[in-house]
C-alpha cells in the first residue's frame, strides 16, 4: 500500500521516510527531556544559593532589630531591605558570574543490546550540535572493561582548531549510585577522549544493565573554542577609544564601548555600569565566564549589525539572556523562526533554554504536524 496524498502511512520509500521521521521525533523528545532536566537543575542550584544568602541576611536583620530601639528605625526600612535584596540578586548576574564558561550541554543515550557488543568495536550515540561543536558518546568493550569516550569536533572545518572542555561522564541507574568520572581535555586533532577502563564489564552487566540496555550521560562545559573563522563586521578595539567611555575586558580582549548605549540595551549593564557597584566608577571592567568571540558578535547585534547566523546564534542568545538584552534576544528568535537551517530538535532546545516563546510554539506545532497520522510537513528540517 502506498502513501496517500494526505500523507498517511503506507508502504514503500515514502513510508520508510515517515518511519524515519517518527524516529527523529523520539530522539527529539530524549534531547529536550535531557535539556529540560539540566535547566531545572541549574535553576534549583541558583535558587538554593540565593535562598541561603537571603536567610543569612534575614538572620542578621533580625538580630539588629532586637538590639535597637524601634524609634530609631527609619520608616522606609523595608524599602531599604528590598533594595539591598535587589542589589544582591543583580550582583549574582554581573560581577560574580561563574568563572568558567556557561556553554554547558548534556548528552543522554540508551544503548541497546550491550551484551552483544563485539570486542574492540565502537558503538555511538546520535551526533548532536551544541555551540558549533558536534558531539557524540562512544562505548567500547575492551580488556574486560567498558570504555566510555566523548567525541567532539567543530562543525565548520578548519586547519587549526581546538575545543577546551570540562566533562563529566556517567552511567546511570535509578536504583544504584551513578558511576561518574570527570576530566578536562582540549580537543585538537584527536576528536575522541575518555576512559578505556570506565567500568568492569562484569560489574556493568550485573548492576547497570536493564533488559540489555545501558543509560549513559555526558555533561559538558565548553570553556573555549578556536578555529571558528567568521568575519567580524564591526571593530571594538582601540580605534574606538575616542567615542567610548568604558573598556570591557573579556579574557585578554578589550572592548571599547559606550556605557550609556549598553545601559539602554541591557538591564544588567545598567546596574553594573550605573548602579551601586564599584565597577561603575572604573574605566575598565572585567567580565568573567564568557567567550570573547561570542561577546564580539553580541555587541555587533546590540549595535545593529546583522551578526546573527547559524554559527553565532546560540552564543549570542546565551549572552542576551545572561545580560537581559531584549533586542538581541528578539533578533535571535527572528532568525531561528525565519532563516535558520538548524534541526527542529536544536531549535526547540534553544527556545526552551532561553525562553523564546514564539519559537517554542512554532517547534511544538511542527512536532504535532509530524505526529498526526505520520504526516510530514513540507520543507521541515528534523
Domain ranges of the chain: 104-226, 238-340
Higher pLDDT, 185 or 79: 185
Helices 344-353 and 13-67: crossing angle in degrees, nearest 10, is 10
Is 238-340 the same fold as 104-226? no
pLDDT digits (tens, 9 = 90+) for 81-117: 434 434 444 444 443 344 344 799 999 999 999 999 9
The fold adopted by the segment(s) 104-226 is: 2.60.210
Q: What percent of the chain has pLDDT over 70?
A: 69
- Please compute the mean of the pLDDT values over residues 146-175 and round it to a whole number: 91
Higher pLDDT, 291 or 369: 291
Exposure letters 183-207 (e unless 16+ CB within 10 A, then b): eebebeeebebbeeebbebeebeee
Domain 238-340 has CATH 3.30.710.10: yes
* Residue 23: burial class (beta carbons within 10 Å; 0-12, 13-18, 19+): exposed
Chain center to CA of 76: 41
pLDDT given at position 5: 40
pLDDT given at position 160: 84
CB-based contacts of 374: which residues, under 8 Å, 6+ apart?
7, 8, 9, 18, 21, 22
200: pLDDT strictly greater than 50 = yes
379: pLDDT confidence band, cut at 50, 70 and 90?
A: very low
- pTM for the structure as a whole: 0.69
322: pLDDT confidence band, cut at 50, 70 and 90?
A: very high
Amino acid at each position: 500500500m502506498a502513501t496517500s496524498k494526505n500523507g498517511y502511512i503506507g508502504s514503500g520509500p515514502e513510508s520508510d521516510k515517515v518511519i524515519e521521521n517518527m524516529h527523529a521525533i523520539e530522539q527529539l523528545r530524549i534531547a529536550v527531556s535531557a535539556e529540560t532536566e539540566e535547566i531545572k537543575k541549574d535553576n534549583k542550584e541558583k535558587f538554593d544559593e540565593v535562598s541561603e544568602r537571603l536567610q543569612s541576611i534575614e538572620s542578621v536583620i533580625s538580630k539588629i532589630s532586637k538590639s535597637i530601639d524601634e524609634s530609631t528605625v527609619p520608616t522606609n526600612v523595608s524599602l531599604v531591605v528590598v533594595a539591598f535584596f535587589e542589589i544582591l540578586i543583580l550582583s549574582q548576574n554581573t560581577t560574580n558570574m561563574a568563572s568558567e564558561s556557561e556553554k554547558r550541554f548534556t548528552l543522554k543515550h540508551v544503548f541497546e543490546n550491550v551484551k552483544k557488543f563485539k570486542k574492540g568495536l565502537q558503538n555511538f550515540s546520535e551526533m548532536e550540535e551544541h555551540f558549533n561543536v558536534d558531539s557524540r558518546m562512544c562505548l567500547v568493550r575492551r580488556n574486560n572493561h567498558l570504555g566510555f569516550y566523548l567525541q567532539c569536533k567543530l562543525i565548520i572545518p578548519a586547519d587549526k582548531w581546538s575545543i577546551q572542555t570540562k566533562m563529566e561522564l556517567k552511567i546511570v541507574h535509578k536504583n544504584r549510585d551513578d558511576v561518574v568520572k570527570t576530566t578536562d581535555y582540549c580537543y585538537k586533532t584527536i576528536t575522541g577522549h575518555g576512559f578505556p577502563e570506565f567500568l568492569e564489564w562484569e560489574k556493568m552487566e550485573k548492576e547497570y544493565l536493564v533488559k540489555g540496555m545501558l543509560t549513559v550521560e555526558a555533561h559538558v562545559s565548553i570553556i573555549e573554542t578556536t578555529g571558528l573563522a567568521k568575519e567580524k563586521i564591526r571593530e571594538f578595539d582601540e580605534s574606538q577609544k575616542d567615542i567610548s567611555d568604558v573598556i570591557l575586558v573579556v579574557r585578554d580582549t578589550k572592548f571599547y564601548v559606550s556605557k550609556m548605549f549598553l545601559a539602554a540595551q541591557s538591564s544588567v549593564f545598567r546596574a553594573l555600569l550605573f548602579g551601586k557597584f564599584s565597577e561603575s566608577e572604573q574605566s575598565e571592567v572585567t567580565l568573567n565566564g564568557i567567550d570573547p568571540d561570542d561577546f564580539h558578535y553580541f555587541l555587533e547585534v546590540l549595535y545593529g549589525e546583522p551578526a546573527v547566523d547559524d554559527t553565532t546564534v546560540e552564543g549570542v542568545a546565551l549572552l542576551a539572556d545572561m545580560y537581559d538584552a531584549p533586542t538581541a534576544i528578539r533578533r535571535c528568535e527572528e532568525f531561528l523562526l525565519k532563516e535558520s537551517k538548524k534541526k527542529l530538535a536544536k531549535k526547540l532546545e534553544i527556545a526552551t533554554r532561553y525562553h523564546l516563546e514564539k519559537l517554542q510554539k512554532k517547534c511544538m506545532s511542527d512536532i504535532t504536524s509530524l505526529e498526526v497520522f505520520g504526516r510530514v510537513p513540507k520543507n521541515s528540517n528534523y
